[in-house]
Amino acid sequence: MRIPLDRQSTTPLYRQVEDYLRRGIRSGSLPSETRLPASRTLARDLGLNRLTVETAYAGLEAEGLVYSRQGSGTYVAALPPGLPQTAPAADLPWPRWHQPARPGAHRSNDPAPSDLLLAAGHPDPIDLSGGAGDIRHFPADEFRKVMQGVMRRDDLAALDYGDRRGYTPLRSAIAQVTASQGLALNPEGILVTSGSQQALSLVCQVLLSPGDTVLVEAPTYASALDLFELCGVNTVGIPTDEHGMQVETLEAKIRLHHPRLIYTIPNFSNPTGACLSGARRRQLIALAGQFDIPILEDDFVGDLRYEGRAQPALKALDPGGRVIYVSTFSKMLMPGLRVGFLTADGPVYERLAEAKRVTDLTTSGLVQRALEAYVTIGRYQAFLRRSCQRYRRRRDALVSAIHQHLPSEVCFGPPQGGLFVWLRLPEGVRGDDLLPEACQRGVAFAPGSRFFVDPADGESFIRLNFACQPPEHLQEGVRRLGEVMRNSIR
């Protein structure tokens, strides 16, 4: 064990050893039952007298932080109840730079609905607030076998740094997947990223500066708003309806705000589930060309379509270099893989690839190889088909539960795919007010305020995830929600 000691200090060496171990024990870096080094060994390693170490151990033992076991050594004791988990290094306030530099940096501070649900301690909680599919159906066994196969096949090569642009065969496999969805991509223009969140972040790094303005749908993906805020970028919301962004209102906003980027989720939007109509897609591309503004197209669940005809990706309509397309395996497969990708044409691609290199060098090569193998042997496509069938049934179950249990004033449009149903609450009912009571009753949802530039615009909406729970839980969750809503209307 290395303990930093200051031999010039007026603090005696035994106290320095004691203080260091005390901080470790209180902070949890030395958990209970950790065996401390024998005093003789530690004294030798630190160049101290054995008695110095024994004095430090005795001080900790007197406080009840360690205990000695006859003939076995000194062990960290369980923390006495009420002892703080962390101890400040000294009685000093945190340095001033710990505070946000810009006022209004507040977006991410609300507790997550799933944490509120957990804290409420309901014996049978039902969480409809999440942003992904159902973890119980992730193809863990299949993926484990593929992973083992890759380790056997590639051995050390799988554990090296790889190409900053991504594992070449995976980039080809991605091009095959997107081609089957009507988006023909050159693998050379694909950049593998650590989730699509990183792709969004790279675009911000490369294209935006603090003070710039980005146009977003109102509502839009909450963590994109958080990201824009983190980058010091202003966001302006464009109204949406059941056909996505109201592109008709865009030109006036462009002239007013001179945006540097338009961020859109054209398929099964998070949070509304709406799809951008074909006519609006063409109009958006034309406006981006007319005003020379890049479009960031976030296609996070494009493959999860349960019915209806898909519209072409904006990228497929791009005459060249106007759209940066982002997608992910998180929702169609498993979020913990942390594999997403972006594609861009022209010089900006190299700038994004360079930003990727300086951000995290490369996405895990082992996971990329396993994913490539999984996609290539057709497992991904088969899993996707099963997911679509399952999620369609769940969407139907949620829709019928809403009709059965929620007040008739609740408005919503069932989505044709994706993960979410977006509800407008009855007059006077606010999602944020409803949430604590709902959690007490054992159900959580995502309040609408989190998806708007101005949270007040989302007060009367909530988002429900239908993909992450089996039909019987959806029924019961919505029944509980109905009770909470009726109480708040009364």
Ligand X SMILES: Cc1ncc(COP(=O)(O)O)c(C=O)c1O
Token pair recorded at residue 401: 């539960």
Q: How far apart are CB 131 and ligand X at their closest, in Å?
A: 4
* Minimum CB distance to ligand X smaller for 203 or for 406: 203
Q: How far apart are CB 425 and ligand X at their closest, in Å?
A: 22
What is the distance between the alpha carbons of residues 33 and 21, in angstroms, rounded to a whole number? 14
Residues in contact with ligand X, counted by CB under 6 A, come to a total of 13
What is the distance between the alpha carbons of residues 381 and 376, in angstroms, rounded to a whole number? 9
Q: Which stretch binds ligand X (CB under 6 A): 59-67, 78-86, 193-201, 422-430?
A: 193-201
DSSP labels, 253-299: HHHHH--SEEEE--SS-TTT-----HHHHHHHHHHHHHHT--EEEEE
Exposed / middle / buried, residue 103 (Cβ in 10 Å: 0-12, 13-18, 19+) = exposed
Q: How far apart are CB 83 and ligand X at their closest, in Å?
A: 37
Pairing of strands 443-444, 126-127: parallel
Q: Is 264 in the site for ligand X (CB under 6 A)?
A: no
Token pair recorded at residue 206: 């490369």
Q: How far apart are CB 19 and ligand X at their closest, in Å?
A: 41
Quote the Cα angle for 333-228-269, to 5°: 45
Token pair recorded at residue 414: 């069932």
Q: Which stretch binds ligand X (CB under 6 A): 144-152, 191-199, 314-322, 436-444?
A: 191-199
DSSP labels, 99-167: S-SSTT--GGGSPPHHHHHHHHT-SS-EE---SS--GGGS-HHHHHHHHHHHHHHHGGGGGS---TT--
Single residue of 57, 138, 221, 412 touching ligand X by CB under 6 A: 221
Q: Which stretch binds ligand X (CB under 6 A): 3-11, 161-169, 190-198, 281-289?
A: 190-198
* Minimum CB distance to ligand X smaller for 59 or for 447: 447
Binding mask 67-86 for ligand X (x = CB under 6 A): --------------------
Residue 468 contacts residue 132 (beta carbons within 8 Å): yes
Q: Which stretch binds ligand X (CB under 6 A): 253-261, 327-335, 342-350, 450-458?
A: 327-335
Q: How far apart are CB 220 and ligand X at their closest, in Å?
A: 8
Q: Is 300 in the site for ligand X (CB under 6 A)?
A: yes
Q: Which stretch binds ligand X (CB under 6 A): 189-197, 227-235, 244-252, 352-360?
A: 189-197
Q: How far apart are CB 45 and ligand X at their closest, in Å?
A: 43
Count of positions (residues) in the chain? 490
Single residue of 195, 273, 417, 442 touching ligand X by CB under 6 A: 195
Dihedrals φ, ψ of 245, to 5°?
-60, 135
Single residue of 39, 74, 129, 197 touching ligand X by CB under 6 A: 197
What is the distance between the alpha carbons of residues 255 and 291, in angstroms, rounded to a whole number? 9
Query: What residues numbered 400-439 form the site for ligand X, per CB under 6 A?
Result: none
Dihedrals φ, ψ of 194, to 5°?
-85, 80
Q: Which stretch binds ligand X (CB under 6 A): 15-23, 51-59, 317-325, 328-336?
A: 328-336
Pairing of strands 323-328, 340-343: antiparallel
Single residue of 192, 265, 275, 373 touching ligand X by CB under 6 A: 265
Q: Is 270 in the site for ligand X (CB under 6 A)?
A: yes
* Minimum CB distance to ligand X smaller for 151 or for 230: 230
* Minimum CB distance to ligand X smaller for 216 or for 293: 216
Single residue of 39, 328, 460, 465 touching ligand X by CB under 6 A: 328
Q: Is 368 in the site for ligand X (CB under 6 A)?
A: no
Residue 463 contacts residue 246 (beta carbons within 8 Å): no
219 upstream amide cis, omega within 30 of 0: yes
* Minimum CB distance to ligand X smaller for 52 or for 267: 267
Position with the least CB separation from ligand X: 195
**Please, what's the b/e burial string for 189-213 (b: 16 or more CB within 10 A of its CB; e: otherwise)?**
bbbbbbbbbbbbbbbbbbbbeeebb
Residue 484 contacts residue 122 (beta carbons within 8 Å): no
* Minimum CB distance to ligand X smaller for 16 or for 197: 197
Query: What residues numbered 116-145 form the site for ligand X, per CB under 6 A?
Result: 131
**Amino acid making up residue 436:** P
**Helix, strand, coil share of the chain (percent; to 5):** 50, 15, 40
Query: What residues numbered 330-349 form the site for ligand X, per CB under 6 A?
Result: 330, 335, 340
Single residue of 129, 196, 264, 272 touching ligand X by CB under 6 A: 196
Q: How far apart are CB 197 and ligand X at their closest, in Å?
A: 3
Q: Is 201 in the site for ligand X (CB under 6 A)?
A: no
Q: How far apart are CB 299 and ligand X at their closest, in Å?
A: 9
Q: How far apart are CB 330 and ligand X at their closest, in Å?
A: 3
Handedness of CA 367, 371, 377, 380 (dihedral sign): positive
* Minimum CB distance to ligand X smaller for 76 or for 215: 215
Interface positions with ligand X (CB under 6 A): 131, 195-197, 221, 265, 270, 298, 300, 328, 330, 335, 340
